[in-house]
Amino acid sequence: MKPDRWLDCRVLVTVGTGGVGKTTIAAVLGLEAARAGKRALVMTIDPARRLADALGTGPLDHEAREVPRERLQALGVPDGGALAALMLDTKRTFDELVERLAPTPEVRERIFANPIYRNLSDALAGSREYSATEKLLQVIGNGRYDLVVLDTPPAAHALDFLDAPRRLSGFLDGQFLKLLLHPAAVVGRASLRLFRSGSEFVLRALERVTGLEFLTAISEFLLAFEELLAGFGERAREVARLLRDPSCGFVLVAGPDLSQAKRAESFWERLQSEGIHLVGLVLNRVHPWPVAGDPPAEDPAAAERAQRWLAAALAAADPGLDAGNAAAALVSAARAQAALARRDAAVRERLERALPLEGDAFRAVPLFADDVHAIEGLARIAREIFGAPRGP
């Protein structure tokens, strides 16, 4: 899909491993949508302060912050277009969920007071990922945005969040859990006898390993959550539907080295098997070759000839210059650049072969010499992905 068409989605999700520039690309997508006259929201997990500064939103937090009008105008955003950003906060999302779903104030307080909830709601398997999708449902539900861009957490398995809803709704099932959910069953061996099957056995053995107290704390935690679980499961199914809807597109972001390319390929397979719509791939931080044509192959003899010629040419241009030093340094810089450009091109070709994307769904963004979190940097990347800016 052509990059302009990416913006027709209602939700765009940027995925990729840590350190490839997902957050920046997510901000660029939001900015470009605003320039196309849409109301866009970027949800990030990264506390990138300069990104917030560049957008002029002030420090990002859990509530959406609008980019000021005058800043948008300077970037060529028309009157109908708007851009907001928020930073995901797992704990806050969970707290909100508990507040909304808890049937009584007592249940709510019991959950908030539980030490495992207080300390580990962040570490609850997949909770970061789950809270991202939960917040996504919230903002989509309020209808304020034409496009929501979700920057996913940089987990080792960056696609864990596809599993998160399923895992958490898996809470609901299982005899083992039911045993744990009723502390009496854990506390009294007599009541344990009420339960047949392997689960009782398992629980008793575990008790020997962990001690009663821990099992009790966990079971209290789960018990407190039990009352929320019905609502939880429904939300999880909604998220799962949303992520697979044709109006939700995933943009894969990868860096140009081989190990990242391999990971991008396995993401792609995973996305496909999950029924996810991949709309494009951004290969970020590619080393550019500064002139038209391919970078030359490595050839020490040619490099030596180049250096001799350049030394003579520089000496002619500026007799006072240490032309030998300058030619050696300049040619070695060009040689290093050529090597990197060749490597990146090979990675790109490999990915183009591996991922059956139409040619224009594949976008390479060069590595800029300076860090690109300032607004001009975002505009520069937008030009690389979307081409020349639309009219003012």
Partner 1 sequence: MKETLASLLSRRLLLVTGKGGTGKTRIAAALGVLAARRGVRTVVVELGDSDVLPELLPPSRGQRAAERGREPQPVALNLFTLRLVPEEALLEYLELQLRVRTLARAIVGNAGFHRFLDAAPGWRELLTLGKLWHLASLEDSAGAPRWPLVVVDAPATGHGLSLLSVPSVVLDTVRMGPLRRNTDRVQALMTDAARTLVLPVTLPEELPVNETLELRARVRELGVGLGPVLANGIEPALGLDQPERALAALERVPRGQAPSPLAEPDVVGAAARHRLARAAMQRGFLAVLARRLDEAPVELPWLAGGVDDPPGVQALADALGGALA
The only residue of 63, 99, 269, 318 in contact with partner 1, by rule CB under 8 A: 318
Q: Please, are residues 289 and 305 in contact by the beta-carbon 8 Å criterion?
A: no
Binding to partner 1 by residue 127, rule CB under 8 A?
Answer: yes
Applying the rule CB under 8 A, the residues between 63 and 102 that interact with partner 1 are none
Binding mask 153-182 for partner 1 (x = CB under 8 A): xxxxx---------xx-xx-xxxxx--x--
* Total residues binding partner 1 (CB under 8 A): 98
Binding to partner 1 by residue 365, rule CB under 8 A?
Answer: no
Binding to partner 1 by residue 112, rule CB under 8 A?
Answer: no
* Least distance (Å) between residue 10 CB and partner 1: 28
Nearer to partner 1, 293 or 391 (CB): 293
3-state secondary structure the chain: CCHHHHCCCCEEEEECCCCCCHHHHHHHHHHHHHHCCCEEEEEECCCCHHHHHHHCCCCCCCCCEECCHHHHHHCCCCCCCEEEEEECCHHHHHHHHHHHHCCCHHHHHHHHHCHHHHHHCCCCCCHHHHHHHHHHHHHHHCCCCCEEEEECCCCCCCCHHHHHHHHHHHHHCCHHHHHHHCHHHHHCHHHHCCCCHHHHHHHHHHHHHHCHHHHHHHHHHHHHHHHHHHHHHHHHHHHHHHHHCCCEEEEEEECCCHHHHHHHHHHHHHHHHCCCCEEEEEEEEECCCCCCCCCCCCCHHHHHHHHHHHHHHHHHHCCCCCHHHHHHHHHHHHHHHHHHHHHHHHHHHHHHHHCCCCHHHEEEEECCCCCCCCHHHHHHHHHHHHCCCCCC
Binding to partner 1 by residue 48, rule CB under 8 A?
Answer: yes
Q: Please, are residues 378 and 372 in contact by the beta-carbon 8 Å criterion?
A: yes
* Least distance (Å) between residue 107 CB and partner 1: 19
Binding to partner 1 by residue 18, rule CB under 8 A?
Answer: yes
Instruction: With contacts defined by CB under 8 A, name the span among 3-11, 36-44, 210-218, 351-359 that binds partner 1.
Output: 210-218
The only residue of 54, 149, 314, 379 in contact with partner 1, by rule CB under 8 A: 314
Nearer to partner 1, 155 or 345 (CB): 155
Binding mask 233-252 for partner 1 (x = CB under 8 A): --------------------
* Least distance (Å) between residue 308 CB and partner 1: 9
The only residue of 217, 242, 345, 354 in contact with partner 1, by rule CB under 8 A: 217
The only residue of 336, 356, 376, 389 in contact with partner 1, by rule CB under 8 A: 336
Identity of the residue numbered 35: R
Binding to partner 1 by residue 58, rule CB under 8 A?
Answer: no
* Least distance (Å) between residue 302 CB and partner 1: 5
Backbone angles phi, psi at 355, to 5 degrees: -105, 115
Binding to partner 1 by residue 377, rule CB under 8 A?
Answer: no
Nearer to partner 1, 53 or 238 (CB): 53
The only residue of 105, 141, 246, 293 in contact with partner 1, by rule CB under 8 A: 293
Binding mask 249-268 for partner 1 (x = CB under 8 A): ------x-xxx---------
The only residue of 66, 296, 342, 380 in contact with partner 1, by rule CB under 8 A: 296
